[in-house]
Structure 1
Amino acid sequence: MDDRDALFSLTGASERTDLDAVADGFDPARLTQARFAAGLSKAKLAEKVGVTPAAIGQYESRVATPRREVLPALARELKVPVDYFATGRPIGRVDGSQAHFRSLRSTTARDRAKAIAFIEQVWELTFALEKRVQFPEVSLPKIDRNAADPVAAAQALRAWWGLGVKPVKHLVALAESHGVVVSLLTLANADVARVGAFSTSHLARPVIIVTPERAKSVYVYRFTVAHELGHILLHGEAVPGDKQQEREADQFAAELLTPRAQIENLLPRTVNLSRLDQLSRHWGVSVDSLLLRMKETGTVSESSIRRGYQKLKQLRSSGLETPEPVNAYPGEVPTMLAEAARLADQAGITLVDLAKELKWYPSRVREALGAEDSRPSLRVVG
């Protein structure tokens, strides 16, 4: 909880939390969600609060309810208001098997749990905003997941969204205009950033989260978003870490961004990095992706491709080729949630109002919106 959140909790003192009411209406799922969001094990939380790990397990499994005097300690350590634990408001529920993670093998179970808690809360914020603001309807083609071909699925999405054969100019703006929630995490979520990206189609709206690691290069970022769209269309029942599903999502992304029927005739017949750079900028994909396309189409030999990768690596290590950040491309920066929050504010529903409704601190709302707060930090004195 930062200083602005402390001020928020003090200014809300007129709405004193009724500990007995929270204890009577305690929602175990909220404790689990808050613990995951904080990245704490049951044992670590128990140590901080002064109870046993078994007690935390009993709270989360409905076997027991925390005593009223334990609630403030739980709230303090999990950085949520006490009434966060109260039942009676919608909760996004995503099982670990219902989310796809871009960097599963390099992340811990704790980081994945934290990511799932965040994706649930992004949906909850979206739900709260949708009560005030009309969002675009979800518009995605129906894909037979039992007989799905990733290339055909990408072609189906291109046709559904009316893209024809042209490059996808602003992938994130396009996805948002068809009802997909996209969130670009701020650096405040350092632990979740190790996940790379994650998505789910098991909520009322598909949600894609991309972390700063994938946003350092706009081309890697666009491919990542396309990859997650592939999971949403192709893989309803996720098997975390399934290599075949990851390959299929990559094939989907490549076809969505660079349709083979078009790119095959444009690729040079030698590994010409200057020409590949021109194509990279026109189609909005990395040179690496185009080299892979050349390999797939058999345009040049594999030894030439290897030499191309080596030369590209040398250029990058010497600083002659640097990645372009996402924030240089407004059409790739998610805006749907932030714009909805702005419209809600115009209608008299402020960020603080949203925080009170969700039982969050305002800083959490800002994180879920993907908004970095540049205001000076306030300090409570006296």
Structure 2
Amino acid sequence: MIFNPSRLKLARQRRQYTIKALSEKVGLTSRMVSEYEKERCSSIPPEKTVSAFAQALNYPESFFFEGELTDQIEQKSVSFRSAKSMKASNMHAAIGAGIIGELLNSYFESKFQLVQPKLPELVGEDPELAASMLRSELALGEKSISNMVHILESLGVRVYSLDENTQAVDAFSFWKNDIPFVFLNTKKSGERSRFDAAHELAHLILHKNDEVQGRDKEREADAFAAHFLMPKNTVLSRTNRFLTVSDVIKLKKNWKVSAMALIVHMKNVGAITEWHYKNLIIEASKLGLRTNEIDGIERERSKLISKMLLILKKHGVGISDIARNLSLPYDEVSSMLFDFEVVHRNENPTRSNKKPSLRLVK
């Protein structure tokens, strides 16, 4: 077996240890740990050192001897909403989650025939028009979207959850080998997670292969998400100049969005005046609606992952078996699978005539 430095680096970054911190935990010099992480390290760590790494990082020893992680995810290809204000450790940990997501996706693709990506090519399109075009393509009309995660999965996007203990990583997305990925932080409210999902969808279809990130791209993604979730005509037809925050809290249920997102969108589409907007924001802030929701919705979960785990369960394969197959810690796998700890055998998901039924590949 050959020790793979890239896997040591991945495990360290996932646990958010600096080289110095890890070296202190395993009783080595920083220089030695750094050497073990080099792509062409001149020395191979002895068995006891590998055991120390495994214990310190809570990763199976076998993980460090699996295939080389040569096809890394480049930081510039990943869309982060607050990239400039994020700590490097948070960013590296999130990108590490993306690599693990790829490993999980490869596992599932080896077992199932998954929907192939079918996202429209809308690079450079106006966000509002792009949102309308996609709604039309999906035959949504102007009705409320019942589940954003399901929409993404119907388009062939691989959606995974994040259990990052930080609000700095809202969500992120990237294309890899023509497969689109979206990762959603489970620390967010259900409403904000829906908006994040629509925001990342915007990056996938409006900014594909665009390595230039910045505020303009984030504004475009926000505009797309708002129009995709809250079509302008429906917002204009349901709002008036006498709206209070209590009215907003009731109205937001129509589109399953946060109160703040609805207030901002009402202003942007001309449903309320600037003065009205400022007053609503002040009132909403006093109620704590910048960070929390009143009468919030449940966080959306993956239907695809639920189906796959159900089928695997019937074949005697659980999350712990998947983790063992990939030589990954159980917590890393379960936290990325929307924490489907128990898959109910009586689940009877509805089938759509537009999508092939999911089946295990033997």
Q: Same fold (TM over 0.5)?
A: yes
Q: 1:364–1:293: structure 2 CA closer, same or farther, 3 Å change rule?
A: closer
How many percent of aligned residue pairs carry the same amino acid? 28
Aligned to 2:160, what secondary structure does the other structure show?
strand
Match of 1:43 in 2: 20
For residue 205 of structure 1, the aligned residue among 164, 171, 179 is: 179
Q: 1:323–1:110: structure 2 CA closer, same or farther, 3 Å change rule?
A: farther
User: TM-score, normalization: structure 1?
Assistant: 0.79
Query: How far is the alpha carbon of 1:106 from its aligned partner?
Result: 4.4
Most deviating of 237-246 and 72-81: 237-246
Match of 1:64 in 2: 42
Query: How far is the alpha carbon of 1:81 from its aligned partner?
Result: 1.3
1:17-46 residue CA offsets vs partner (Å, 9 max, x unmatched)? xxxx2xxx2222212211111111122222
Match of 2:165 in 1: 190
Q: 1:87–1:323: structure 2 CA closer, same or farther, 3 Å change rule?
A: same
Q: 1:219–1:355: structure 2 CA closer, same or farther, 3 Å change rule?
A: closer
For residue 32 of structure 2, the aligned residue among 40, 47, 55 is: 55
1:199-245 residue CA offsets vs partner (Å, 9 max, x unmatched)? 22235532222223322xx2222111111111111223465861111
Query: How far is the alpha carbon of 1:372 from its aligned partner?
Result: 6.5
Match of 1:258 in 2: 230
Aligned counterparts of 2:266 and 2:284: Cα–Cα separation in 1? 15
Aligned to 1:163, what secondary structure does the other structure show?
coil
Q: Does 1:336 align with 2:310?
A: no
Query: How far is the alpha carbon of 1:119 from its aligned partner?
Result: 1.9
Aligned to 1:199, what secondary structure does the other structure show?
strand
Aligned to 2:187, what secondary structure does the other structure show?
helix
Match of 2:348 in 1: none
Aligned to 1:233, what secondary structure does the other structure show?
helix
For residue 65 of structure 2, the aligned residue among 66, 86, 103 is: 86
Aligned counterparts of 2:105 and 2:43: Cα–Cα separation in 1? 30
Q: 1:164–1:355: structure 2 CA closer, same or farther, 3 Å change rule?
A: same
Gaps of 5+ in 2: 343-362
Superposed, which structure 2 residues align to 1:106-185 within 5 Å? 106-143=85-122, 145=123, 147-185=124-162
Aligned to 2:188, what secondary structure does the other structure show?
helix
Query: How far is the alpha carbon of 1:323 from its aligned partner?
Result: 4.8
1:114-148 residue CA offsets vs partner (Å, 9 max, x unmatched)? 111112112211211221123222221112x3x33
Structure whose residues are more often helix by fraction: 1
Q: 1:119–1:321: structure 2 CA closer, same or farther, 3 Å change rule?
A: closer
Aligned counterparts of 1:96 and 1:321: Cα–Cα separation in 2? 32
Match of 2:215 in 1: 243
Aligned to 1:366, what secondary structure does the other structure show?
helix
Q: 1:212–1:194: structure 2 CA closer, same or farther, 3 Å change rule?
A: farther
User: TM-score, normalization: structure 2?
Assistant: 0.83
CA RMSD of aligned residues (A): 2.7
Aligned to 2:169, what secondary structure does the other structure show?
coil
Aligned residues: 338
Instruction: Give the conservation status (yes or no) of the 8 Å contact 1:100–1:240.
Output: no
For residue 285 of structure 1, the aligned residue among 257, 264, 269 is: 257
Instruction: Give the conservation status (yes or no) of the 8 Å contact 1:90–1:124.
Output: no
For residue 311 of structure 1, the aligned residue among 264, 276, 283 is: 283
Q: 1:132–1:352: structure 2 CA closer, same or farther, 3 Å change rule?
A: same
Aligned to 2:176, what secondary structure does the other structure show?
coil
Gaps of 5+ in 1: 1-20, 375-382
Most deviating of 227-236 and 204-213: 204-213
Aligned counterparts of 1:302 and 1:33: Cα–Cα separation in 2? 48
Q: 1:252–1:321: structure 2 CA closer, same or farther, 3 Å change rule?
A: closer
Match of 2:353 in 1: none
Q: 1:232–1:214: structure 2 CA closer, same or farther, 3 Å change rule?
A: same
For residue 336 of structure 2, the aligned residue among 365, 368, 371 is: 368
**Which structure has the higher relative contact order (CA within 8 Å, separation 6+)?**
1
Instruction: Give the conservation status (yes or no) of the 8 Å contact 1:46–1:53.
Output: yes
Aligned to 2:96, what secondary structure does the other structure show?
helix
Aligned to 1:207, what secondary structure does the other structure show?
strand
Instruction: Give the conservation status (yes or no) of the 8 Å contact 1:183–1:208.
Output: yes
